[in-house]
Amino acid sequence: MYTVIFKNSARKELLSLPDNTIVAIEEKVDTLVHNPRPHGCKKLSGSTNEYRIRIRNYRVI
């Protein structure tokens, strides 16, 4: 299992989103504990070990 950590700035921004978007992001982020690189994730260029996933209109790094 892996640990998912939210930066304080990310948590603050997340809480400013609509409730249904918060729920969708939290559900998808919770799955990262078991699979940190799910189908559809993209490696960030210029980094050695950073990836992003899309959740609706948002990107999670």
- For the chain, which residues make up each domain, given as ranges? 8-60
Q: What is the pLDDT of residues 26-59, one digit of tens each?
A: 999 999 999 999 999 999 999 988 999 999 999 9
N- to C-terminal Cα separation, the chain = 18
Q: What is the pTM of this model?
A: 0.81
Rounded Cα distance between 30 and 44, Å, is 21
